[in-house]
Amino acid sequence: MTEVAKLILDGKELELPVITGTEGEKAIDIRSLRQQTGHITFDPGFGNTGTCRSAITYMDGEQGILRYRGYPIEQLAEHSTFVETAFLLITGQLPNRDELIRTSVDLNDFSTLHENMKAFYQNYPPKAHPMGILSAMVNAMRSFYPELQDDVEEEMNKTYLRLISKIRTMAAMAYRITKGERVVYPRPDLCYCANFLNMMFDSAVVPYYMDDDLVRALNVFWILHADHEQNCSTTAVRVVGSGKVNIYSAISAGISALWGPLHGGANQAVISMLERIHRDGLTIDECVAKAKDRKDPFRLMGFGHRVYKTYDPRAKIMKKMCDIVLSKVSQADPLLDIARRLEEMALSDPYFIEKDLYPNVDFYSGIVLRAMGIPTNMFTVMFAIGRLPGWISQWKEDWSDPEMKISRPRQIYSGALVRDYVPMSEREPAN
């Protein structure tokens, strides 16, 4: 017998179906609510609203669980690569050896940019933010690499790989050009992550030394950020995609949504906080006291999480990589020293433990990126590169969903009641 929820409204009883997910999650199906009652639900931020059925990512914030296509994030971070994880998210299955080799070859083949696209970079203001450049350049790709109109699966797969490959090239190119340095092109002998680091930091004067631990750290960073259920940027991709726009425009919207400081900018905010602590000469005890004072505007960034009510499973993994990367840093960095002391405090202070304010993935990822030499204004770009496979898989799933409809939320109107137009000659002068 199908489970139902009963709603009593205006003396009438209404039965609403209950939908159960494969992990036991339950949702009340309210699609017929307005038609049957004239009422809608009110849920700012959609924190209690399911907008789709998805087979991509499972999260349990209370238990600290994150899985891609059923695979625990811990196993993927330990054994997988970013390219393999991207294949998993988009296709639903781990690749066999031949599929992985073919995917890697295609990523290398697609890694260069159309020569005419490079002219765009020369015309951006020198201080343009890399996220703004990236969003615009991804949108521009539609003109240079149009999709086939008949939606052939093989051609769409090439489009996905083209996006994943070229976003890495565009990000590195934006960084080099804003620094006034020559562009470094991808090398066919390097893997995806190693290629990115080489494109960022190689120099004709001082060739970039490829450290396997840093390559692994970047792999893990991107795996941990590859998808995270229906967050702000993923929802933006689905909402824009529901209008049946091309995938480039939908991904561009996701990049723009990720740019916000409350979403993708969180790891950048961690570094800004550490810089302020160092600049103002605050002690760790003073930071803790200010963080506990609700009247004080100071906030400890990178602690706690909106979804995870226990330790962020990604943070545990990123902490291990953080320790490895920091062991490679030869020169002293006062911000990294402050971060270490903050971490020790948060893991031992009863106030933070009781409120589940553990260091989250943004805390450790910000430290890792800084230690690797990634400039702060590139942090969100790094996030976007990692999240791209998730956006693609969510866009793809939405397009193939027979229940998919164009997004059209309702509202509760709170404006003026009806009023008649007043001619200009009869209006009272403004005070």
CA–CA distance, 135 with 381 (Å, rounded to integer): 10
> Do the beta carbons of residue 395 and residue 251 sit within 8 Å?
yes
Alpha-carbon torsion, ordered 170, 176, 179, 180, to 10 deg: -110
Strand partners, 17: 4
> Do the beta carbons of residue 222 and residue 84 sit within 8 Å?
no
**Token duo for residue 99:** 């599929």
Question: Distances in Å between the alpha carbon of 318 and those of 264, 347, 366?
Answer: 16, 15, 10
CA–CA distance, 318 with 361 (Å, rounded to integer): 6
CA–CA distance, 163 with 165 (Å, rounded to integer): 5
Q: Which residues are catalytic?
A: 305, 362
Crossing angle between the packed helical segments 361-372 and 313-326, to the nearest 10 degrees: 20
Starting at the earlier edge strand, list the strands of the sheet with 4-9: 4-9, 12-20, 26-28
Q: Please give the backbone phi and psi of residue 28, each rounded to the nearest 5 degrees, phi first.
A: -90, 120
Strand partners, 12: 9
To which residue do tokens 């990178």 refer? 302
Q: Please give the backbone phi and psi of residue 215, each rounded to the nearest 5 degrees, phi first.
A: -65, -40
Task: Tell which residue, 364, 390, 393, 372, has the closest CA to residue 193.
Answer: 372
**Count of positions (residues) in the chain:** 431
CA–CA distance, 236 with 258 (Å, rounded to integer): 9
CA–CA distance, 353 with 349 (Å, rounded to integer): 6
Q: What is the DSSP string of 129-145?
A: -HHHHHHHHHHHHHHHS
Q: Please give the backbone phi and psi of residue 7, each rounded to the nearest 5 degrees, phi first.
A: -120, 125
CA–CA distance, 250 with 164 (Å, rounded to integer): 14
Q: How many CB atoms lie within 10 A of CB 181?
A: 12
Distance of CA 187 to the CA centre of its chain: 27
